[in-house]
Every structure is written in C-alpha cells, then in structure tokens.
Amino acid sequence: MSARRRRRALFAGGVVVALLIGWGAAEWVRDGGPFGTEARHCWDAWAPDDAPFLSDAWLGEAGHRTGTSEGPERGEGECTVSVASSDRDDLRSEIEVVYGPAPEGADERFDWLLEHLGGTAVPVPDGLPGAVTAESGMLVLPERCDNADGRPTTVSLTAKSTRNWNNGRRATSSGLGGVDRVARLLVAAADAAMDRAGCGGPRQEVRSPVLNLPEDAEKVFWSSASSLCRIPGLAVDKVTADSLGDQRVGVVGPELQTCVVTRRHSAEPYLSAVMVARPGLMRLFEGLAGDGVPAPGWRGTGSLAGNRQVVRTECGDRRMGFLMAGTSEEQAAAFANSAADRLGCAAVAPRP
C-alpha cells in the first residue's frame, strides 16, 4: 500500500506528531514541555520558530507534540505532525507531509490536482512549481527526482484541526501561520526530503511574499448568474441559481486562475474550474488529458466527458491546462476562453 493511502497517526490522550517518510529507519521526537532548541521535525526541516504550531506557546502547559520520520530512500514517505494544546479549547491538529510520485490513475490524479490547485490555492512565489493555501500546499520536484516510471515526484502538505465548540468539535486553524509560512514550510520539507532520497541539489528558497491572494466568497444571486466568478458566459438558469450558495473568484494570475461555486445547503462544489500555465505544474498534466480533441472546434487535447474535464493546449510558446468539474461544455468553454482572452491567447473553444 502506498504511503499516500496509509492511515496516519492517531490522537491518543494528547498529541502525536508522526512524521513518516519513506521506509528508512524511524526517528522519533517528542515535545511535552519546552520545545528545546534541538527539537526539529520533518527530516530536520522545521525549527520551533518556523510556524506557530511548532512553538512552545502553542502547546500550553499540558500540551504535547511528538514526531517520527523515516527517510524516503525508496521514493515514498510521509511526515505527520499532530499537536494537542491544553490552552486552546482542546485544540487538536494534524499536519501531514507526503513525498512520492503523483497519483497514477487519471481520476485519482484529477481529484488530487483539483484538491491542491483549486479553491483558494495561490502559486508558490519565485516561480517554484507549486501552490499553497493557508492549510495546504503541493510542490513538484525537479526531474532528477522522478519516479522510476517517469511520473513526477511531489511533496504535498495538508493540515486539519478541530477544537471544542459548544457541544461538539469544530474545524479551526492549524496554526501554520498563513500562506507565506506554508510556502516556506513546504519548500523546506521538500529540500530535506530530496537530500534523504538521494536527489538533492541546489537549495530551493522562497524569498518573495505571496502577493496575489484569492477574493472572499460572495453569495450567488440571480443578478450574477450569467457571469459566475465574473466570467461572461459562465452562466446558470434561475432555478439553478436559487440552489447555489457561494461563488469564489480565486487567484487570477498569468499562471493560475481558479473559480469555485458551491451548493446552498451542503456547501459542496457545484462546479470547480482551474487554469494552470506554470511550466513545472504542467508536468502533472502528462498522461492525464489523452491524445484526442476535447470536442469539435476545441484546440489542444483532452476530454469533456463526465464530471472530470481536462484540456491541455498552448498559449503562444507556453503550455496551458484546464481542470473543470461539474461544468457543461458551454461553461467549460466560457472559462477556458476567458482565461485565454485575459492572457492574449487564441480562443480555446468555439464561441457562441
């Protein structure tokens, strides 16, 4: 069973910081009181002052933090940091880092990409091939780290936290410290993992802040139903509009653009759309889009069949990819052409 699917550390009476990476010898770290200057996590990549959840103050008087790591010598591994704080309404957090090849199956790869590139994701600064949110991130590693079958190797980070709230538990911030710190945590873990996997090289660093942030979610009203996410032609009828909740214009940049529309009562996505044009991220589209034309009149390759729609095309001298879920062909065309128009490219799909 791959490291991506193995179930991680369990919370038991306090905190477990499980850092499992690969299949090498395990290394354990446990913090119960002061963190200590020697205590580091995730292949020694993270120090106490790298993020709030790693600090002494985050634990409280009776909090705990424990960790173990296995180096990814065989190309797969994971690192999970679980924290329980006594001073924050019984806050329990689990921060997981996974090193390994991108998912092999097309559907699994699509869902994984949409998870890491959609919604509130923003590009990692300084042109590094990755994306981050306040609670997650993903970075594509250099080709020298590719899996034996040619798949790109990636490092992904996810965080989940809950705290007591009235009569139950509620999701809350994990204390990663925002998208800038998440980017630095992700890149530091990736550098350390590559060294242990034997494919290390020049250090990757995040020197610049994240400047292009997603907008806040807005309610969907009938008046906006003809231009969801402010994209002309990305439209729904009145009955559908009445069933929708929020729309979020995510990051809108030259290398990443996102749009998410949720249902009213479940907050589940009604549609999600992502445009990608950062070269390193485009490696993840290889083997995903197929070789056929998406639909008559479309440029590039891909498929618009089913709920997982993929298009790979070109914008001038660079590659461009689209991931769309829940969209009709007309909605997919509106999103793709809007991104192409904004970047000065030829239309991707036929226009009405």
pLDDT one-digit tens code per residue, 14-36? 333 333 333 334 444 444 434 44
> pLDDT tens across 109-163, in order?
999 999 999 999 999 999 999 999 999 999 999 999 999 999 999 999 999 878 7
46, 36, 35: which is closest to 79 by C-alpha?
46
- Percent pLDDT > 90 in the chain is 61
Write out the two tokens for 85: 């704080």
Instruction: Tell me the per-residue pLDDT of 166-187, one tens digit each, with 9 for 90 and over.
Output: 777 778 787 888 999 999 999 9
Domain locations along the chain: 26-197, 218-342
Answer whether residue 2 shows pLDDT above 60: no
Contact present, 22 and 71 (Cβ < 8 Å): yes
What mean pLDDT comes out for the span 302-318?
A: 94
Phi and psi for 194 in degrees, rounded to 5? -60, -40
Quick: pLDDT tens for 273-289.
999 999 999 999 998 88
Q: How far is CA 107 from CA 103, 151, 306, in A?
A: 9, 15, 11
More confident residue, 12 or 265: 265
pLDDT of residue 13: 34
Q: What is the pLDDT of residue 213?
A: 87
Strands in 126-255 per DSSP E: 130-132, 136-140, 153-165, 168-171, 218-219, 244-252
As given in the structure block, the two tokens for residue 72 are 């990814």
DSSP structure string for 285-335: GTTTS-SS-SSTT--SEEE--SSEEEEEEEETTEEEEEEEES--HHHHHHH
Which pTM value belongs to this model? 0.86
